[in-house]
Structure 1
Amino acid sequence: MQKSELKDFLEEKVVLYNNSDFIADDPIQIPHLYTLKEDIEIAGFLSATIAWGNRKMIIQNAHKMMELMGNSPYDFVVNHKDYQLEKAETFVHRTFNGLDFVTFIKSLQNIYLNHNGLENIFSQNTENLQQGISDFKKIFFEIKHPARTQKHISDPLKGSAAKRINMYLRWMVRKDNAGVDFGIWNKITPANLSCPLDVHSGNVARKLGILTRKQNDAKALLELDTALRNMDKNDPVKYDFALFGLGAIEKF
């Protein structure tokens, strides 16, 4: 497939999947339950954090997270009392357990009360978001926390593709009229976003010849990002819809 043909092919798939129909079977439906910016940010962050494994189970458990916070995530994060965290301790999604959930709630409280919110932290390094993710992890775990919980936030500087946080950043930053991504963060340009590289997008990218590295790691992400930016320098991660849809839905 020629370069121009490949771009046209992926553009068609972006249109096919980047629309409101996509929401019903994707974890992004959770933040779409809310209208307050901070609710969207927190619901999105927590949903993205557990976005590995079966999609139906991810969505089911993300709904449970919201219920455990009284379906008012920002108010709960900022104003909860310690005794209200007892129910959160019952939460389990694969290796993410109640202890992790409580730690995340407390860390988010610290971020909103002492760091002016999630957008402010991620906006400290808008040119290099992978460095920004690593910096975010340091701030996230500046509070007292169990060592085990650190594994639930990836660090690109330690070789991770950081799929879930890159997906979260796509949700918050990308701006279009398709109704899927929110585009509520204005300090970061979509041009600097990275593709959420997972087994589906990685396998499809290799079959299409835009990714050669076998591991889905930080080096593979850089290679894929470079290829996608060559196709659209202003909005490279729109192609995530195409790569994911081809892999997860079409079994390309």
Structure 2
Amino acid sequence: MGFVDFAQTASDEAILSRVESLDAHLRNASPLEILAAAAETHQGRVAAVSSFGTESAVLLHMMAQVDRSIPVIFLDTGHMFPETLAYRDELVALLGLMDVRSNRPDPADHAARDPDDSLWADDPDACCALRKVEPLTRALAPFDAWINGRKRYQAATRARIPVVEFDEGRVKFNPLAALGPAEIDAWMSAHRLPQHPLKTFGFASVGCMPCTSRVATGEDARSGRWRGQAKTECGIHVRKAG
């Protein structure tokens, strides 16, 4: 099927209509087919966002099969595990990713709002805004669509995510939405992809060091993020009210 080029669309309402149509068409498609559709409908204007976490290798490996030149945005918050940074470098080299962009908080904002790097303890939402949400907004400025690796099984808050959605003025592709843990593990094994170093130690989902803990048997994959708080997302996947 030839997909409509979204650049031809003038209004948010028209884009939303086309997004809903594309989501319906791709609802039962494979992740590779969804990635190919993202590349075709937004040629040169789509980026992937990756945390280089415990399951990131699957999306990145699939994307490399479709187009290694698609930009990959990594949010280096300044609080990352050293293992995550090493894993990022390993996957970039292994998969031949051609355009990985590491984005950090704005230095002036960092100095003004979190000079002693303790904001994560005092106000985790403000910390995520400074270190993740705002840097991602700047990084996505040249693009009108983005790809991410969220899956429905990861948490109750993600249980109904579509394959394609319109969010904050951009088309968002969720090519792995329907995959479960067994399918993720099978893809990792079949393609001999390296595991994140911290997975062996019980970290099912890895974010910033201060806000990530191990996951016990029976807990959902993201229960180790912001443990003991009502917070379940950093903010980059949360729709604003209004």
Both proteins in one fold, TM over 0.5: no
Normalising to structure 1: TM-score of the pair?
0.27
